[in-house]
Structure 1
Amino acid sequence: MRLTYPLLLNAKPQDKPYKIRDRDSMYLRVSVSGSKVWKFDYRLDGKDCSYTLGRFPDLSIADARQLRNAAANLVASGVHPKAHEKHLQQQNVAHYKNTLWPVCEEWLNDNRANWTAYYHGQATRFLARYVKDSQLGAMPIRDVTVAHLYDLIQSIAKRKTISGDERKAEGAPHIAIRLRQHLDAVFRRAIISGRVDSNPVAALKPSDVVTLPPTRHNRALEADELKHVLAAFWVTGTSLTRLAMRLLLLTSVRTVELRGATWREFDLETAIWALPGERMKMARPHVVPLSTQAIEVLVKVKEITRPKTSGDYLFPNARDKSRPMAATTINAALVRAGFNNERLFRAHGARGTFSTWAHERGFVPLAIERQLAHVEKNRVSRAYNKAEFLSERQKMMQDWGDYLESLRD
């Protein structure tokens, strides 16, 4: 009987499974449920065996015959087709594990407990964007050369066109340097696990592949300059952005700490903002005393956002309240207000301005460092500062709030 597609497609199930035979020991097995599977019967090592080729109609008659011929050749060589298939699967798994991206994943997972959530997320995003989604990600790690990595890092540092998730058609030299650091650690891990013998990243010194632009420091502002910034904080951006800028200046926290803040971290009655360690740069819990001016800002923020749970963000994203305010929002507002080039001032500059003011006012240096969440290198100082200077810092932050208010007045 000549097998045709309509014949096989219209074959109906019966009370018992049955076979529609082709040639050379191949047939289509129709089950009671109606499923149809190509099978190949053979004899090897004195035993009758059966090998499944695939399902019909996913596997056509012609393709099934080709697979049958390949299986018959294996049997002729004394190899069971199923054993050969399993061997190929194991080879594929081993090959995948030894490509660049899975090694990157292993490195990221190994370091998850040692890093802050922010740093781990950043490293994951960089490697996923530039390695996983590129040809390098699927390349065996042993085959990755210095030239491959040089081209990758250069393409990031000197980017001219928008591609993938990129937002701007311009180079990102600092990201290129950070990616080089990550890949250096990934290859060192691969050496330890025996998957490579050398580290190609080691041949690429940062200065050889990336030219960093001159550093633009966020300088501390004088009183007159600070007045201009404060004035901008009352007219620039949306009402929520203006409140975010004011709270940033009043608390001297990092921008990422402000953006990720949720209402559960605040106790307005005791005027304390308690940041958990997983949100801090050095993974240590941090307490920020709140001035009366900061409390006023928080009350206004609550009136605007009307949070429903303690887990809601203080400053939710304008498009998606389940996410925090975008990382560029505050600095973009400052640029629009004219704080660029010669008048350069960025959100992070608020910390330097506060630090300069506090030192000039004679506050205890260690209290200032504690307020800025800087970790002292000296173990004795670090232990002494763990829960100290709170009263000093409360006075310092209230004086700072009063000072900013006097400048605005």
Structure 2
Amino acid sequence: MSSSVHPKAYEKQLQLQTITHNKNTFWAVCEDWIEDNRDRWSEDYCGQAIRFLTRYVKDSPLGKMPVRDIKVAHVYDLLQSIAKRKVIARNERKAEGTPHIATRLRQHLDAIFRRAIISGRVDANPVAALKPSDVVTLPPPRHNRALEANELKHVLAAFSVTGTELIRLVMRLLFLTSVRTVESRGATWGEIDLESAIWVIPGERMKMERPHVVPLSPQTIEILEKIREITRPKGADDYLFPNVRDKSRPMAATTINAALVGAGFNHERLFRAHGARGTFSTWAHEQGFAPLAIERQLAHVEKNRVSRAYNKAEFFPERQKMMQDWGHYLESLSD
């Protein structure tokens, strides 16, 4: 302290510096982000964000750093330490390891830094330079094969940070409904009955040229409501997933698989959207559902003459339970 500075003035200066520092630590920015979004989030999502950030950021060196001083390497080290952690906390008991937590936390950190840019606290987002595959070793699923539970967990986690929100929702819908990609892309709002919780796909849009009724689980209905909020359809003929350049056309055929490639599912980690159907089929058989009910849910029709008299409502009660159980299972893997 300079001899020309009064002790009380110096003390006040130090207090102001401390207050300014605390307001601009990374944890303070995290708290502001939570408060900004608390009313928009679901209770589950809000609880998860608070839990993850409190556990891994608040008391970490990163949480105490000025937000402007945080570099890509700091974020990478934090996420790597989580992804490689072997000990699982009590409320993570469903997890088979912790890579999915690192992936989800990366999503939170990315949003927090974007907010910090808007508020003028930082000029760049260090998380943007890190893909999920940079911090998490993804399993090597092969084209269209059924995924094991731990592989499915990684794929679902990757969905949460891949592409636009609409892309993420269409990929979730594919898994939740087990429909073909082309059936999902071409869906219109006139086919969806949220009140009755069914999706009626007309025969002309089906591979076997027969109408197909898809029971909608609560998780699927939630996804559809989010889609409607984003696309704001005006009529029954509007697509659930319109083309970004021309809303009179559906989403491009390559969009979904391109998003998967962007998430790191290419080359030795190859996985394509159609693999969701095989994953569902394997799970349903393991749960003991009737094979014919599973085949009906996948819109498979036997070629012999008797079976071709297809009743679209056949096995419907069992298929309703099947899809509800499947929705709960996928939800548990996303916790």
TM-score category of the 2 structures, normalised to the smaller one: 0.5 to 0.7
* Partner residue in 2 for 1:398: 324
Asked if residue 270 in structure 1 is aligned to residue 210 in structure 2, the reply is no
* Partner residue in 2 for 1:173: none
Q: Which amino acid aligns with 2:159?
A: F
CA distance in 1, matches of 2:312, 2:191: 19
* Partner residue in 2 for 1:334: 260
Q: Provide the secondary structure at the position in 1 that maps to 2:309.
A: helix
Deviation at residue 384 of structure 1 after TM alignment: 6.5
Q: Which amino acid aligns with 1:369?
A: E
- Could you give the per-residue CA deviations for residues 257-306 of structure 1, whole angstroms, max 9, x where no partner exists? 00000000000011000000011111111000010000000000000000
- Could you give the per-residue CA deviations for residues 287-346 of structure 1, whole angstroms, max 9, x where no partner exists? 000100000000000000000111100000111111100101110010011111222110
* Partner residue in 1 for 2:210: 284
TM-score between the two structures when normalised by the length of structure 2: 0.57
Q: Which amino acid aligns with 1:244?
A: V
CA distance in 2, matches of 1:342, 1:408: 24
Q: Which amino acid aligns with 1:403?
A: Y
Deviation at residue 359 of structure 1 after TM alignment: 0.6
CA distance in 2, matches of 1:398, 1:387: 17
From 228, 245, 257, the equivalent of 1:319 is: 245
From 156, 171, 176, the equivalent of 1:245 is: 171
CA distance in 2, matches of 1:239, 1:324: 16
Deviation at residue 351 of structure 1 after TM alignment: 0.4
CA distance in 2, matches of 1:300, 1:385: 32
1:28-67 maps to which residues of 2 (within 5 A)?
Answer: none
Q: Which amino acid aligns with 2:190?
A: R
1:194-273 maps to which residues of 2 (within 5 A)?
Answer: 217-273=143-199
Deviation at residue 385 of structure 1 after TM alignment: 4.9
Q: Provide the secondary structure at the position in 2 that maps to 1:383.
A: coil
CA distance in 2, matches of 1:386, 1:272: 12
Deviation at residue 386 of structure 1 after TM alignment: 4.1
CA distance in 1, matches of 2:166, 2:193: 20
1:287-366 maps to which residues of 2 (within 5 A)?
Answer: 287-366=213-292
8 Å CA contact retained: 2:143, 2:272: no
8 Å CA contact retained: 2:211, 2:312: no
Instruction: Pick closer, same or farther for the CA change 1:386–1:271 going to 2, 3 Å.
Output: closer
Deviation at residue 382 of structure 1 after TM alignment: 3.8
* Partner residue in 1 for 2:49: none
CA distance in 2, matches of 1:397, 1:379: 28
8 Å CA contact retained: 1:366, 1:385: no
- Segments of structure 2 that go 5 or more residues without pairing to the other structure are 1-141
CA distance in 2, matches of 1:340, 1:402: 28
Identify the structure with bigger relative contact order (alpha carbons < 8 Å, sequence gap 6+): 2
8 Å CA contact retained: 2:213, 2:313: no
8 Å CA contact retained: 1:221, 1:353: yes
CA distance in 1, matches of 2:227, 2:257: 19
Deviation at residue 376 of structure 1 after TM alignment: 1.1
* Partner residue in 2 for 1:388: 314
- Could you give the per-residue CA deviations for residues 83-115 of structure 1, whole angstroms, max 9, x where no partner exists? xxxxxxxxxxxxxxxxxxxxxxxxxxxxxxxxx
Deviation at residue 233 of structure 1 after TM alignment: 1.3
Q: Provide the secondary structure at the position in 2 that maps to 1:274.
A: strand
CA distance in 1, matches of 2:231, 2:309: 39
1:176-187 maps to which residues of 2 (within 5 A)?
Answer: none
Q: Provide the secondary structure at the position in 1 that maps to 2:204.
A: helix
CA distance in 2, matches of 1:293, 1:382: 32
Q: Which amino acid aligns with 1:257?
A: E
CA distance in 2, matches of 1:358, 1:225: 17
Q: Which amino acid aligns with 1:321?
A: K
Q: Which amino acid aligns with 2:255?
A: T
- Could you give the per-residue CA deviations for residues 106-125 of structure 1, whole angstroms, max 9, x where no partner exists? xxxxxxxxxxxxxxxxxxxx
Larger Rg: 1
Moved over 4 A (4+): none
Deviation at residue 381 of structure 1 after TM alignment: 3.3
Count of residues in correspondence between the two structures: 194
- Could you give the per-residue CA deviations for residues 325-374 of structure 1, whole angstroms, max 9, x where no partner exists? 01011100100111112221101000000001111111100011101111
Deviation at residue 217 of structure 1 after TM alignment: 3.7
* Partner residue in 2 for 1:171: none
* Partner residue in 2 for 1:71: none
CA distance in 2, matches of 1:219, 1:292: 26
Q: Which has the higher strand share?
A: 1
Percent of aligned positions with the same letter in both sequences? Answer: 84
Deviation at residue 388 of structure 1 after TM alignment: 1.1
TM-score between the two structures when normalised by the length of structure 1: 0.46
Q: Which amino acid aligns with 1:267?
A: D
